[in-house]
Structure 1
């Protein structure tokens, strides 16, 4: 058929040819006669990065941007944005092209909104290239080494491997890594990272490019002095360079196939993330500052930051979010505003009501107070009331502080924190009930209650008669959980006279209820929780029921007195049987040890996977495993436990736990998952095998770390019983010993993705999953020949750099029984 005789085909041919000139850039380049618009993209040679127009993933608006994102990552993840402060509304009408030697971006109105701004003399021979490193650069077409401009020199919020972040000494210009405004807007946010512009080798994080709130410390040749986690690095190769022209820091990956990025996050924290192909998510490797509330003005004016809640920001009582839309996008910088305006003394409202003060205790005081001397609290209060601009005051020991601007960095402190103070927040009178109204309410309640009390009196006496065997003042709360009075617990424990043991959080005493039930009462002596937090944690743990979890019967919370009431465990804790028994007596036989290991695994699997929220225990060790009359293990002491909602896979929290059982990720300061418990469990299994502490001094005076010693013995072909507790005299099932040792090695792998879940551990111990031979963790390998340094492992750790293959394979029996294997 003659195409020329068909006008429609001719038109299609012309259009296709036109599109071809716009789409065919040789894949990763733009040359002088080409442009980019609409859905068109250019892709780096290996497909790692893509350049094009995008709309932020969380955005519901119509703003578009020219940027670079990962080409092989399932989650849209941008690493660079050209027009971050000048969005485009119609990308099909926008255009990126080469013009007079520069890359120029036109918006839909044909106005230039971004350019490389070069004074180039070779305008006719420039091309733009999208590189596999994520670097988009402009170069001379005839000279590949002549780079005229590159995106690596103009980072936005992401710092990629191979890029520099530093100071140009010739121009005295520092490169900034600047956060997005929020998760849907890549415009410049409030937080930035830069190398010290004065020339020292330290990095600063700044708020609003003015207020420094974090520093890396200076470079000492190996690490930044205030970032000790760099010592335990196993993924990154760091390099700091200082010469006459520039100072800069750069990094690369030991394994270039691993995708990693360093970002200045909207949280005000710098974060290092790596892509996990198995779970298709970004894994938080490291972040600073560790505590969200250490970020300056994170919650804005009149916002309160709490490290024990998510999200971390909330408004003071009497205040509301100033910009709810921004808060919904994790941008809290707008802070809060008053729900009701203040009424100054000279501008009284129609009813003559004056402003009042709300007591806000246990707080870290906000920034920028005005200090003055004052003899009394009343005088300080009056000074605030007489100043129409005063929003709050605090008084302590003759010092009066008042705040006349928005309260910044107001932080909820833990009870007992030395930095905790009380501040009085000024509110309109209508926000708080008046004394007269309060009196009316009290009178009404009293009058109404008298009749009820008289009516219920006989009922109460009858209940008391029927429950003679119960503690008088105990109340049922949260199902079967009992709220005891302190007086009652004094009685049942004989004034806390029979002490069973103690730990970092307090002492445990034996008691007997009137119905002859024996209980253990834990008196918390160093708890830093507030009343609300304590009751929330108690109610959560109180509803958890499992045969391998210690049963919480009730609690007492009266003022500073915080007590927990548990079932009594006649055989005490596991550590007393492992470490304090004598040969030939009180020795846990191997069968019992194996059942204890299995029971603990079942209890932890229940906490991690079967509860409404994932509960990470955070302190698994022999001291926290109690044994009942039949030596059935009960996981106990949830004082450090962390709740993680099912919508979250990990939680960033302060370091908690016991030295010697801490997973490497605790040391690195990254977000924690249930795999931290798996690591601690593995360390405890070694002690179950040996009957000794993992770290102890040997007869020759040297420190011996049992997991390393055991690995060295077995690697040389010695019998498995070489590492078994000598008190057992070889009476053990050899295959079970191998299985427990293998599980322990898998559980303490340096990289958490190589550790099994606790449900997989249960299935392995039950024989439903087969287990491959585990590799010796790198942290153990490096100490095999240096036993005198082994004790360092309890405080710091490194991780193996090589990936290992999947370590559990499902047997046919497992496939048919896996659904029932985790049942209590």
Structure 2
């Protein structure tokens, strides 16, 4: 490998002063000893029962052992029993009931300092099979869940029996008389992998990619960085998906700048000016409002007050009160603020509340600041005046009374939309929701305007679409540019996709070009990435609920964009499923939805799998032949995949110009996505990794639901509307 990686450090707490002059040796008593440049021992295996000469050996597993020279299989001591931040295949991680062993993974202090950090992974000391993610050995912030027989309940991605990312790995949990532990191995020869408790408090499972010459992450837990307890320390603010997750509150600076520069933010921030207290009615301390936040941990006092003013006075009455929040009731925080999150970039409808941070009055105004403020006000006034003049000119020229809301969306007047669409004269398409028209903004940007029709349905879809797409940004999600809401008129303005929707290329129409295999594969991968973002990377989990080719739009370069969020459902990450009325399209609906049970993100996974079959075959899944029989492609595909046969699955128009490895990945991914049991379906994160070639799926079973769908007596109404061959 081009870069050496440390997987175990003996002397984490006592580094040698000089690497060049330090020595690792076998002492006279047979122990393995590390000596510094002065010859003093800084670390030893420290055994007292050695009876003959010994040797130190590094095994191919990465295990450093001390063994008898006459029989190296007789191991006296091994590094696998003394974990650092890394868990390697073959090593045991658990809880020794009689003696030590490897009981926990502990992060490095920084990326360059192997001293023990604040984050650790440890098996529940109370005797259950779950592992706890711990901060400072005292605060639990995540759990693996208990062992289910195949995986840990909160980490189903580890399940090797259902094709999850670690199908290349084997996992097991042993609960013996003397010890309880988890162990894992690798199936593929030559695979180099490791579990790491990262300095950020996240467990990363990585494998070496020879083609990329880099370590590739195959699993992370927690999925959201800001879920790590006290990641940014006292008075630090965590912002998900920011260039740097951590920053200091206004009025605070980094406690130790050198540690922050190395990525260690756990020491947090300190005040620039100490609080003065409020004596004799003087206002020595003041508050500034921070909006759209997730409140810090440990509100130590909830005060029954009727107003924000009373809540503020309650905080000022205590010298130790550092913040308050009034949202119908009064919450007070004393001393340090921990786990404050900035949600200002979250989607509409998922934002937080406000908090008032207490600062010394001098942080708000003094003579110097007054002069600066006067200059700022003067400059701002001139700037605003110029902007207003320019804006008035532009508005009069074309679009009147157009307003920006939420920092990105534009609120259009209906008459402005009439102008930019030339009175809705260029229709692009339509459906049950209404019609879509082509438009042109003032600066020359092409847009697509969705005109929702039918007040009841249009209003519901309008609210769902705006709340979902308002501020989220991803290259594989359609971008909402603006909207119009005037009485019963509901319009949505999107970026324009010149290559229309994916279904146009699956109909066999001669007026559409045949998509190459590489284009299809990139489309499938892009859709998967977009859904992964919705399911795991947004502030709240978003279930699209209607994944199908008609809702996948294609840019001028055939980059896919997931569109039409009118049926989308938001669900907090703390909830595993949500009960909702059946929505979506027959042929893409998951079995649990048809059964009327609560759904999870796995409903989208099922729909994606059904669509992936169509991308591979270049046609719709169900085709009614002239003799009224139905050719149901997914069942054929699954049966062929289980038999290890892929011939006849790819669109014949491609003339075999395909990548066989990619075809196999796509087909296996689709087969696993449409399993009857939602627990057997992979997450979209796993699908992305599989399509990227980072993980491998096992051979899938044949889902019973596909056999039912292929039966002519099932979903008769659906089949009666199928296109004939």
Q: TM-score, normalised by structure 1?
A: 0.61
Q: 1:795 and 1:156, CA in 2 relative to 1: closer, same or farther beyond 3 A?
A: closer
Q: Does 2:40 correspond to 1:111?
A: yes
Q: Distance between the aligned counterparts of 1:714 and 1:269, measured in 2?
A: 38
- Residues 499 and 558 in structure 2, CA contact (< 8 A), matched pair in contact too: no
Q: Distance between the aligned counterparts of 1:215 and 1:517, measured in 2?
A: 48
Equivalent position SS for 1:137: strand
Q: Distance between the aligned counterparts of 1:97 and 1:511, measured in 2?
A: 76
- Residues 681 and 747 in structure 1, CA contact (< 8 A), matched pair in contact too: no
Post-superposition Cα deviations, 1:432-476, rounded to whole Å, max 9, x if no partner, equal: 36999999789968996999799x69x967x778x4xx2234599
Q: Which of 234, 241, 245 is 1:312 aligned to?
A: 245
Q: Distance between the aligned counterparts of 1:701 and 1:688, measured in 2?
A: 14
Q: Distance between the aligned counterparts of 1:226 and 1:74, measured in 2?
A: 35
Q: Distance between the aligned counterparts of 2:441 and 2:197, measured in 1?
A: 60
- Residues 514 and 653 in structure 2, CA contact (< 8 A), matched pair in contact too: no
- Determine the structure 1 residue equivalent to 2:722: none
Q: Distance between the aligned counterparts of 2:253 and 2:484, measured in 1?
A: 31
- Determine the structure 2 residue equivalent to 1:194: 122
- Determine the structure 2 residue equivalent to 1:88: 16
Equivalent position SS for 1:113: strand
* More displaced 10-residue stretch of structure 1: 281-290 or 221-230: 221-230
Q: Does 2:111 correspond to 1:180?
A: no
Displacement of 1:689: 3.1
Q: Distance between the aligned counterparts of 1:447 and 1:342, measured in 2?
A: 33
Equivalent position SS for 2:2: coil
Displacement of 1:86: 0.7
Residues 346-357 of structure 1: pairs in structure 2 closer than 5 A:
346=279, 354-357=284-287
Displacement of 1:337: 1.9
Q: Distance between the aligned counterparts of 2:19 and 2:377, measured in 1?
A: 68
Q: Which of 268, 279, 287 is 1:335 aligned to?
A: 268
Displacement of 1:686: 2.7
Q: Which of 623, 627, 634 is 2:550 aligned to?
A: 623
Q: 1:384 and 1:282, CA in 2 relative to 1: closer, same or farther beyond 3 A?
A: same
Q: Which of 61, 76, 92 is 2:4 aligned to?
A: 76
Q: Distance between the aligned counterparts of 2:448 and 2:67, measured in 1?
A: 75
Post-superposition Cα deviations, 1:716-762, rounded to whole Å, max 9, x if no partner, equal: 976x8xx86xxxxxxxxx553543xx35x654554xxxxxxxxxxxx
Q: 1:716 and 1:794, CA in 2 relative to 1: closer, same or farther beyond 3 A?
A: closer
Residues 320-331 of structure 1: pairs in structure 2 closer than 5 A:
320-331=253-264
Q: Distance between the aligned counterparts of 1:747 and 1:316, measured in 2?
A: 48
- Determine the structure 2 residue equivalent to 1:767: none
Q: Does 2:49 correspond to 1:120?
A: yes
Residues 54-65 of structure 1: pairs in structure 2 closer than 5 A:
none
Which segments of 5 or more consecutive residues in structure 1 lack a partner in the other structure?
Answer: 1-72, 580-586, 609-615, 641-654, 663-668, 670-677, 725-733, 751-775, 805-824
Q: Which of 352, 355, 361 is 1:420 aligned to?
A: 352
Post-superposition Cα deviations, 1:14-42, rounded to whole Å, max 9, x if no partner, equal: xxxxxxxxxxxxxxxxxxxxxxxxxxxxx
Which segments of 5 or more consecutive residues in structure 2 lack a partner in the other structure?
Answer: 451-461, 529-536, 566-575, 577-583, 591-600, 602-607, 698-725
- Determine the structure 2 residue equivalent to 1:429: 361
Q: Distance between the aligned counterparts of 1:632 and 1:186, measured in 2?
A: 46
Q: Distance between the aligned counterparts of 2:30 and 2:354, measured in 1?
A: 62
Q: TM-score, normalised by structure 2?
A: 0.69
Equivalent position SS for 1:80: coil
- Residues 163 and 251 in structure 1, CA contact (< 8 A), matched pair in contact too: yes
Equivalent position SS for 2:188: coil
Post-superposition Cα deviations, 1:346-396, rounded to whole Å, max 9, x if no partner, equal: 399xxx763222212221111111222222211111111222211110122
Displacement of 1:133: 1.5
Equivalent position SS for 2:134: strand
- Determine the structure 2 residue equivalent to 1:378: 309
- Residues 596 and 633 in structure 1, CA contact (< 8 A), matched pair in contact too: no
Q: Distance between the aligned counterparts of 1:357 and 1:562, measured in 2?
A: 41
Name the Cα RMSD after superposition: 5.5
Residues 243-258 of structure 1: pairs in structure 2 closer than 5 A:
243-258=176-191
Displacement of 1:98: 2.2
Q: Does 2:627 correspond to 1:708?
A: no
Q: 1:128 and 1:215, CA in 2 relative to 1: closer, same or farther beyond 3 A?
A: same
Q: Distance between the aligned counterparts of 1:153 and 1:319, measured in 2?
A: 43
Q: Distance between the aligned counterparts of 1:173 and 1:790, measured in 2?
A: 37
- Determine the structure 1 residue equivalent to 2:75: 147
Q: Distance between the aligned counterparts of 2:374 and 2:220, measured in 1?
A: 54
Q: Distance between the aligned counterparts of 1:530 and 1:736, measured in 2?
A: 36
- Determine the structure 1 residue equivalent to 2:277: 344
Q: Distance between the aligned counterparts of 2:290 and 2:435, measured in 1?
A: 33
Residues 186-585 of structure 1: pairs in structure 2 closer than 5 A:
186-231=114-159, 232=164, 233-346=166-279, 354-371=284-301, 372-397=303-328, 399-413=329-343, 414-415=346-347, 420-432=352-364, 467=397, 470-473=398-401, 485-486=412-413, 489=416, 510=437, 520-521=448-449, 525-526=464-465, 555=482, 565-566=493-494, 573-575=501-503, 577=504
* More displaced 10-residue stretch of structure 1: 145-154 or 307-316: 307-316
Q: Distance between the aligned counterparts of 1:239 and 1:167, measured in 2?
A: 14
* More displaced 10-residue stretch of structure 1: 593-602 or 139-148: 593-602
Q: Distance between the aligned counterparts of 1:513 and 1:475, measured in 2?
A: 17
Q: Distance between the aligned counterparts of 1:514 and 1:98, measured in 2?
A: 77
Q: 1:338 and 1:634, CA in 2 relative to 1: closer, same or farther beyond 3 A?
A: same
Q: Distance between the aligned counterparts of 2:50 and 2:675, measured in 1?
A: 65
Equivalent position SS for 1:381: helix
- Residues 524 and 563 in structure 1, CA contact (< 8 A), matched pair in contact too: no
Equivalent position SS for 2:184: strand
- Determine the structure 2 residue equivalent to 1:14: none
Bigger Rg, structure 1 or 2: 1
Q: Distance between the aligned counterparts of 1:402 and 1:442, measured in 2?
A: 33
Q: Distance between the aligned counterparts of 1:780 and 1:390, measured in 2?
A: 55
Q: Distance between the aligned counterparts of 1:803 and 1:448, measured in 2?
A: 61
- Residues 637 and 667 in structure 2, CA contact (< 8 A), matched pair in contact too: no
Equivalent position SS for 2:190: coil
* More displaced 10-residue stretch of structure 1: 209-218 or 595-604: 595-604
Displacement of 1:93: 3.3
Q: 1:509 and 1:607, CA in 2 relative to 1: closer, same or farther beyond 3 A?
A: closer
- Residues 170 and 187 in structure 2, CA contact (< 8 A), matched pair in contact too: yes
Displacement of 1:494: 12
Q: 1:288 and 1:443, CA in 2 relative to 1: closer, same or farther beyond 3 A?
A: closer
Q: Distance between the aligned counterparts of 2:89 and 2:355, measured in 1?
A: 46
- Residues 320 and 335 in structure 2, CA contact (< 8 A), matched pair in contact too: yes
Q: 1:274 and 1:173, CA in 2 relative to 1: closer, same or farther beyond 3 A?
A: closer
User: How many residue pairs are counted as aligned between the two chains?
Assistant: 610
Equivalent position SS for 2:142: strand
Q: Distance between the aligned counterparts of 2:431 and 2:270, measured in 1?
A: 47
Q: Does 2:654 correspond to 1:736?
A: yes
Equivalent position SS for 2:259: helix
Q: Distance between the aligned counterparts of 2:229 and 2:19, measured in 1?
A: 37
Displacement of 1:171: 3.5
Post-superposition Cα deviations, 1:295-336, rounded to whole Å, max 9, x if no partner, equal: 111111111112232322122223222222212211110112
- Determine the structure 2 residue equivalent to 1:674: none
Q: Which of 509, 512, 537 is 1:589 aligned to?
A: 509
- Residues 57 and 66 in structure 2, CA contact (< 8 A), matched pair in contact too: yes
Q: Distance between the aligned counterparts of 1:605 and 1:193, measured in 2?
A: 33
- Determine the structure 2 residue equivalent to 1:685: 615
- Residues 94 and 102 in structure 2, CA contact (< 8 A), matched pair in contact too: yes
Equivalent position SS for 1:708: helix
